[in-house]
Amino acid sequence: MQALEYFLIPWLDLKLLFLVAAGTFAGVYVGAIPGLSVTMAVSILIGFTFTWDVYPALCLMVGIFMGGVYGGSRTAILLNIPGAPSAIATAMDGYPLAQKGQAGEAIGIATVMSFVGGLIGIIVLAIAAPTVSEFALVFQPRDYMLLAVLGILLVGSLSGESLVKGIFAGAMGLLIGTVGLDPLTAEERFTFGLTGLWGGISFIAVMIGMFGVSEALMQLHHVDKTAVKQKISRIVPNWASIRRYLPLSLQTSSIGVLIGALPGTGGDIAALMAYDHAKRVTRNPEVPFGQGAKEGLVAPETANNAAVGGAFIPMLTLGIPGDAVTAIMIGALYIHGLNPGPMLMIEQPQMFWFITGALVLANIFMLIFGLTGIRIFTKIVEMPRTVLIPLILLLSIVGAYAVNNSISDVYWMLGFGVLGYFMKSYGYQLGPVILGVILSRLLDENWRRAIISEQGSIAGLFKGMLTSPLSLVLLATVVLIFVSQTPLWRCVRGKLGLESRP
């Protein structure tokens, strides 16, 4: 009964209720603006809320976190500019739906499935937090390395018709991600003596340029083309659609929770892995993936929102942040005199149930705010291209500059936009490039840590993989996925009549 009382605190106090609602509303629209990240918003909030009581401060932060993860899907669907890294996969099928006049339905599906994913993540947090956190603690550097390799193999799903072009794009992303000072030795890598490259190339600048600016340049070929009229008669998906996609949402939500609970990962990796999973298990989609498959919306949106609940698991049970936002929230808890970790669960269990209650409340407000204003938002896609193209460029410039207040990031963004335009023109997919940038640091750091832990012995590293059950499962998964992407295996599947996907 005490747990229920703590859970209902943010529900029964009007001030706390308002702060959760205000935070979620702000998060939805902050997340929709490229470059204005949830991490930035929560970090700014600490400066305003450190004199507050802990409950109001947490309500506002939880609301912004939950709303911001969802908010990135808006511009991803409407403009092909992911408002947040976790919405990269959403753009792959969301934007083609908007181009077909189904932006309202796409946003409706994304909103409802985000709610489902968020709810599942919170349920796992409430029921299985200690168990999942102990599982996450078992991961060694070699396991994170295998997880990164597993993610890199997603190029097969993101590369379109040409696997070779996908591998080239993914390798380019890995190269971009390694520019700067070595994270372990501080040695310069690919900086060419330029101090401005010591900090690396901003991932946000690469993402906005590749998706936003390149799309604006592609639209120049169709300036005189009439804008697609959006059908907004149906926004909320009917029960039959929800029931159809529910099995997939449950599967991808579990991916989101597990990836979210692993320190150093996040919703962006979870969304990409969920998208790949959807392509593998969906046998006969109504529309091919990449051309407006609704399964391509369901998978990443359930996964990235489920990762929110997952990220709180190691934070509250072990004192280890699941992602950048929970790292900031740990700092906020310390400021308020709390020590997140095992003792928090024992000495102050009310904080665990209070945060859980605030997360559920924020998830409900996210559903409400997500389903409002869609008619106005969809008008963006109906704008004449002479207005829409400058708007996309303006949002891209503001988003790239806002991250570090650096004009050099704007130049990088424009440069990668031109590169993305030429890659699109010659049939290269941009998803593998972004995937490579995201995973480069995870792979680089954990490869080196794994080698150091084995005193530089590759044989010792491989032996450790074979003797650890977790490493062995991950290694077997990597091998199976790699084999499944070879031309020989695809030929075998075709001869056996297993290749039923269009």
In sequence order, the 6+-apart residues with CB closer than 8 A to the CB of 472 are: 465, 466
Mean pLDDT of the chain: 82
Residue 261 has pLDDT above 60, yes or no: yes
Residue 92 has pLDDT above 70, yes or no: yes
pLDDT-based confidence at residue 493 (cuts at 50, 70, 90): low
Give the model confidence (pLDDT) of 195-227 as tens digits. Answer: 888 888 887 788 788 877 887 888 787 766 655
Distance, in Å, from the CA atom of 274 to the CA atom of 262, rounded to the nearest integer, reads 15
Give the model confidence (pLDDT) of 235-255 as tens digits. Answer: 777 788 888 889 999 999 999
Q: Which single residue is written with the structure tokens 């450190």?
A: 50
Q: Say if residues 324 and 39 touch (Cβ distance below 8 Å).
A: yes
Termini Cα distance of the chain: 53
The single-letter DSSP state of residue 213 is I
- For the segment 325-351, the average pLDDT, to the nearest whole number, is 76
Give the model confidence (pLDDT) of 415-453 as tens digits. Answer: 999 998 999 888 887 878 877 887 788 788 888 888 888
Distance, in Å, from the CA atom of 424 to the CA atom of 192, rounded to the nearest integer, reads 28
Query: Measured between alpha carbons, how far is residue 376 from residues 112, 213, 382, 389, 415 in Å?
Result: 19, 23, 10, 18, 32
Q: For position 496, what pLDDT does the model report?
A: 54
Q: For position 433, what pLDDT does the model report?
A: 84
Give the model confidence (pLDDT) of 381-407 as tens digits. Answer: 566 777 778 877 887 888 788 767 888
Q: Which single residue is written with the structure tokens 């009917």?
A: 238
How much is the pTM? 0.76
Q: Say if residues 247 and 119 touch (Cβ distance below 8 Å).
A: no
Q: Kindly provide the residue ranges of all beta strands, DSSP E only, lying in 266-327, ordered along the sequence.
A: none
